[in-house]
Amino acid sequence: MNELLTANEELGLLLDSSLEMSIREFLNQMMIYNSGIKEIRTKLEILDEEFQTKYSYNPIHHIESRLKSVKSILDKIKEKKLEVTLENIRANVTDIAGVRVICNYLDDIYKVEDLLVNQSDVTLLRRRDYIKTPKASGYQSLHLIVEVPIFLSDGPMPIPVEIQIRTIAMDFWASLEHKLKYKSDNEVAEDLRYRLKICASAIQELDTEMQNINNIIADRNNN
């Protein structure tokens, strides 16, 4: 609820007076996006608990979530040179609801993906694998846009949710890289970008080695 109140305050500052009558509709839409986050989180938590019960193992280390800020939503609409309307927001901004899944090992990432997207009420809209093909910066993560139905008083509404799945090491790198870019006004010197890529490569090697060690231990326990 605090996030929705914050959205209300931001709207008062950012929206033209001609659009103020749609604040209530906007807040209702944000509530629905927040419900999408809850739906995905619940599904992931159930899957993780099932693994713990069946195999005494949790593929998920922890889960984070967020609603995109009103400013970021409006900036995205303006970048696309579209009128600021609820219809344009719904149709053109698919990452308002965001869930980040932090896994222990590389294999867990794809295991969680398969278990989630194969559920009958989850529709995969877009998939980008920045683990097998990292970004130029060195960034690694699996990005999914899925659609999940939210059951409201007047019927179900499909809601897109962005899901980022990564290891602990990938999340550590991405978090620090984001902070460095923020401190540098989104520009990082060439030599530092090179050093960040070296760190990303080291993290990739670390994740691979930790996965190999885990596989060896699992094989020995099964024999």
Active site residues: 162
Residue pair 160/94 in contact by the 8 Å Cβ criterion? yes
Residue 104's CB is within 10 A of a number of other CB atoms, namely: 17
CA-to-CA separations, 81 to 10, 66, 88, in angstroms, rounded: 21, 25, 11
CA-to-CA separations, 12 to 24, 70, 181, 208, in angstroms, rounded: 12, 11, 29, 49
List the Cα angle 47/49/55 in 5-degree steps: 95
